[in-house]
Structure 1
Amino acid sequence: MAILLAHSVITQLLTFVLRPTMTYRALELHVPSAMLGALAASFAIAPLVLALPAGRLVDRVGERRVMVGGALLLTASSLAFLELGGTVGGLLAASMLLGTGHLGCVVGQQALVANTTGRERYDTAFGHYTFAAALGQSAGPALIALFGGARAIPDTTAIFAWTSGIAAGLVVLSVLLPGSGHAKAAGARAAGGVRVLLRTPGLGRAVLTSCVVLAAVDITLAYLPALGAERGLSSGTVGAFLTIRGLSSMGSRFFLGRLTAAFGRRAVLVTSTIGAAVALALVAFPLPVWAIGALLAVVGFGLGAGQPLTMSWLAESAPPGSRGQAMSLRLAGNRTGQIVIPSVAGLLAAGTGAGGVLLVSALGLGWAGVAARRLPSGPDA
């Protein structure tokens, strides 16, 4: 389990340093604000098409092989940012490689958690798994602050060079991962797995909540740097904001098992999502730096619970041998949201600025939180 958690940390570190750095490189290239949403959405284009096949592949060949492939693609992405990141086309291509590599790593990780954990411990196991992911999400922006200091735009070339080395280390770690041994048992069930899952009551609402929560995370990654630039904040300050958000997500995930045991899975999901929506809406308004940091802590705590709770719910609903497909189905919904929502946000940014984008994202979060009230209660409610 320790190797898996380390793998999750490094995967998310790479993703959460490369995506904001891509935004800074785009600003260096004088890319207009409306185009930033398209760049953010490019991360999800290939994974949207490949999510379900990736889930079937995990069920058939095992989690480790898919994670090795994902780590190789993350390495290729870092090198592409370094060598091709001087043009918008190069940034788009590198971002698509990043999204595909991230998909291979996370679908393998999530299936491995589901296949090696007892059903009664799903909330705790997925909470700890996503705690590790949040640790990586916090460390990534911290690297930006390290390379940026007081400058408005950090040294993007140095960041891309360092991430190439880190990604190569992830390949080695992937080879050392154990498998669950469930791959051979999945063959006979793989063909009908998705059809069975689609008939599960409440699945649509769970996937909807998951994709809106993840899109809100994407919006903060893409538009907090833009908001900071609009308000004259340094890249170090913005990196600190993103770190606060990630650390707060770690807190909610570490204690997730206790929270759901005390209040129920559905109640925790609804409350956390609506709370994050309110805080994110307030960030859109002109506020002191300390107030923005405090609100982002609330945002992080609320958004941190959404992903592991939907993972637990799907892992519990899926039959053994189909859990890779269950996780990939959720990821397909996430990627749809990552394409549609940031693209719409980019159009809004042209007229409203980064603050308007955050406000609209908050409204979407609030709606998803209300919709989650109709999810099946599950065993913990």
Structure 2
Amino acid sequence: MFPSVPLLHLILVALTAHIALAGARITTSLYALSMHASEFTVGVLIALFSLFPMLCAVPAGRLIDRIGILRPMMAGSVAMAAGCLLPGMIGGMPVLFLATILIGTGFMVIQVAAQHTVGAISSQEMRATNYSWLALGFSISGFTGPVLAGLIIDDAPYYAAYLVFGCFAAGAFTLVLFGKLSEIRGQTTPEQAATGTAFDLLRLRDMRHIFIVGMLLSSAWDLFTFVLPIHGARSGFAASTIGLILGCFSAATFMVRLAMPLISRRLNEWQVLAGALVLAAFCYAVFPFMRQPVSLMIVAAILGLAVGSAQPNMLALLHHVAPAGRAGEAVGIRVTIGNACQVFLPLAFGGAGAALGLTAVFWGMTAMIGAGLPIAWRKTLLSKAE
């Protein structure tokens, strides 16, 4: 079933903002490397995309519960536009640190608003389908941002890429201001807003298991976008080639999400998540042996199939398991955990890459993903028994 017009506008806002984020991330990595920044410095910059989102996601979710999505999404898109325009107009390493904070925090607000609202306005029967539409939008933007960044950087200065992505962020603001988001109904009212603390949700075993598996698969996604530019630059690839490899990854996430309604008829959510963990662990295990663009594109596509299948199923599980009236807070916790990984993993693996080499980074991630397999396997057996 095709999404309603307000839901389509919500997806378009998220898609446009995500193009700005995805493009700015790869542009920042390559721009910093062009100024001879170390792997650790690149790790710090990528971590800053997620530092303030890590701290602010739960309060943002509670705020959205109280005042709705319009004003927070406007503020988020303005912050993203400012973050993209700063390095576009000023340039140099120092401004990148502020820019990454603005871009990452602005997108976090839009992400929490979009994910919470899709779940809140959907019936249980339509929730997975509507999340698949949102995920398809993110797949399109995840492909468009890196490829566009690579093409611009190959033929124009880095500041031109930042200015282009600033225009995408401004486009998200325009869609919020003049779109149909005000017609969305079914969100939490102020009287229904959650009480208690986030730790109450973390005490629930089912919620913890969803958060752990989601954290591992989200980390597999985010670490790939951090490590691939470094691996590609060391291998002598052009920026456009690196962008195409990332584009193959995103195209695979799009294809698996397009096929998700068919997959869901044969496999339940935990079966999909368990398969995703197996494929992701395999990809990270073989990445050190991939030295040619074609082989990297193939493995990147397999990883895209794995992590692309995870998000719609994980979000559907999250809304199904979360206590009544606290789904928005649960989404905020998920975003907080995901962004915490985006802060600490680039720092940890950036330092490991500088000291031990990228092979240690790839195999370290393989071990982390493998640690989540017992949880997913037990949940798969329990879901079959039910």
1:38 aligns with 2:44: yes
> Using a 3 Å threshold, how does the CA distance of structure 1 residues 66 and 323 change in structure 2: closer, same or farther?
farther
**1:128/1:378 Cα in 2 relative to 1: closer, same or farther (>3 Å)?**
farther
Match of 1:101 among 102, 106, 120: 106
Q: Find the counterpart in structure 2 of residue 342 from structure 1.
A: 346
Residue 242 (structure 1) aligned with residue 260 (structure 2): no
Tell which deviates more after alignment, 216-225 or 41-50. Answer: 216-225
Q: 1:99 to 1:374 in 2, by over 3 A?
A: farther
Q: How much does 1:58 deviate?
A: 1.1
Q: 2:29 aligns with which of 23, 32, 36?
A: 23
Query: What is the aligned partner in structure 1 of residue 176 from structure 2?
Result: 174
Cα deviation code 1:276-297 (max 9, x no counterpart): 2202321222443222111111
Alpha-carbon distance, 1:226 to partner: 1.0
Instruction: Encode CA deviations 1:156-203: one digit per residue, 9 max, x unaligned.
Output: 111011111221111011122424445563434422374553343321
Equivalents in 1 of 2:204, 2:180: separation in Å?
32
- Secondary structure at the residue paired with 1:31? coil
| Percent identity between the two aligned chains | 24
Distance across 2 between alignment mates of 1:378 and 1:76: 46
CA displacement, residues 227-268 of structure 1 (integer Å, 9 cap, x when unaligned):
111111111111100000001011111222332331111011
> CA offsets, 1:357-380, max 9 Å, x none?
233223322323443234485699
1:251 aligns with 255
Which one of 132, 135, 142 corresponds to residue 137 of structure 2? 132
Aligned position for 2:63: 57
Compare 185-194 and 31-40 and name the one that shifted more.
185-194
Are positions 1:351 and 2:368 aligned together? no
Mapped to 2, the partners of 1:280 and 1:293 lie a distance apart of 13
After the TM superposition, which of the residue ranges 348-357 and 336-345 deviates more from structure 2? 348-357
Q: CA deviation at 1:111?
A: 1.2
Aligned residue pairs total 377
Aligned AA (1:81): P
Given the superposition, is the C-alpha separation of residues 177 and 85 from structure 1 closer, same or farther in structure 2, using an over 3 Å criterion?
Answer: farther
What residue is the counterpart of 2:72 in the other structure?
Answer: 66
Q: Structure 2: which 5+ residue stretches go unaligned?
A: 1-6
Q: Would the aligned equivalents of 1:41 and 1:340 in 2 still touch at CA under 8 Å?
A: yes
Q: Is the 8 A contact 2:194 2:325 kept in 1?
A: yes
For residues 120 and 92 of structure 1, the distance between their equivalents in structure 2, rounded to whole angstroms, comes to 43
Instruction: Specify whether residues 62 and 366 from structure 1 end up closer, same or farther in structure 2 by C-alpha distance, changes over 3 A only.
Output: same
Equivalent residue, structure 1, for 2:165:
163
Q: Distance in 1 between matches of 2:48 and 2:212?
A: 20
Distance across 1 between alignment mates of 2:188 and 2:127: 23
CA distance in 2, matches of 1:85, 1:216: 30
Q: Quote how far apart the aligned CAs of 1:85 are.
A: 3.7
Q: Cα RMSD over matched residues?
A: 2.2
Counterpart amino acid of residue 41 in structure 2:
M
Classify 1:375/1:330 alpha carbon distance in 2 versus 1 (closer, same or farther; 3 Å). farther
Cα distance change of structure 1 residues 248 and 183 upon mapping to structure 2, 3 Å threshold: closer
2:360 maps to 1:364: no
Q: Secondary structure at the match of 1:106?
A: helix
- Once residues 128 and 236 of structure 1 are traced to their aligned partners in structure 2, the CA distance between those partners, rounded to angstroms, is 28
Within 5 Å, which residues of 2 pair with 1:1-381? 1-87=7-93, 89-149=94-154, 155-175=157-177, 176-179=179-182, 180-182=184-186, 185-192=189-196, 194=198, 196-375=200-379
| 1:219, distance to aligned residue in structure 2 (A) | 1.6
- Structure 2 SS opposite 1:30: coil
Provide the C-alpha distance between the structure 2 equivalents of 1:146 and 1:361, rounded to a whole number of angstroms. Answer: 30
Is the CA contact (8 Å cut-off) linking 1:274 and 1:369 kept in structure 2?
yes
CA distance in 1, matches of 2:169, 2:335: 22
Kindly indicate whether the alpha-carbon contact (under 8 Å) linking 2:151 and 2:240 is maintained by their aligned counterparts in 1: yes
Residue 121 of structure 1 and its aligned partner are, at CA, apart by: 2.3
Cα–Cα, structure 1 residues 285 and 238, in superposed 2: closer, same or farther, change >3 Å?
same
| Of 174-183 and 234-243, the range deviating more from structure 2 | 174-183
**For the Cα contact (< 8 Å) 2:13–2:175, is it kept in 1?**
yes
Please, which moves more after superposition, 207-216 or 229-238? 207-216
User: Structure 1 length as normaliser, TM-score?
Assistant: 0.92
Give yes or no for contact 1:59–1:187 (8 Å, CA) kept in 2: no
1:178 corresponds to which letter in structure 2? L
> Aligned equivalents of 2:123 and 2:143: distance in 1?
29
Partner Cα distance (2:359, 2:109) in 1: 33
Residues 323 and 286 of structure 1: is their aligned pair in 2 closer, same or farther, counting only changes over 3 Å?
closer
CA shift, 1:122, in A, is 2.1
CA offsets, 1:23-74, max 9 Å, x none?
A: 1111122111122211111111111111110010111111222212211111
**Equivalents in 2 of 1:130, 1:124: separation in Å?**
10
- Higher mean alpha-carbon deviation, 64-73 vs 296-305, is at 64-73
- When structure 1 is superposed on structure 2, of 103-112 and 191-200 the one drifting more is 191-200
Structure 2 vs 1, CA of residues 181 and 274 (structure 1 numbering), >3 Å: closer, same or farther?
A: same
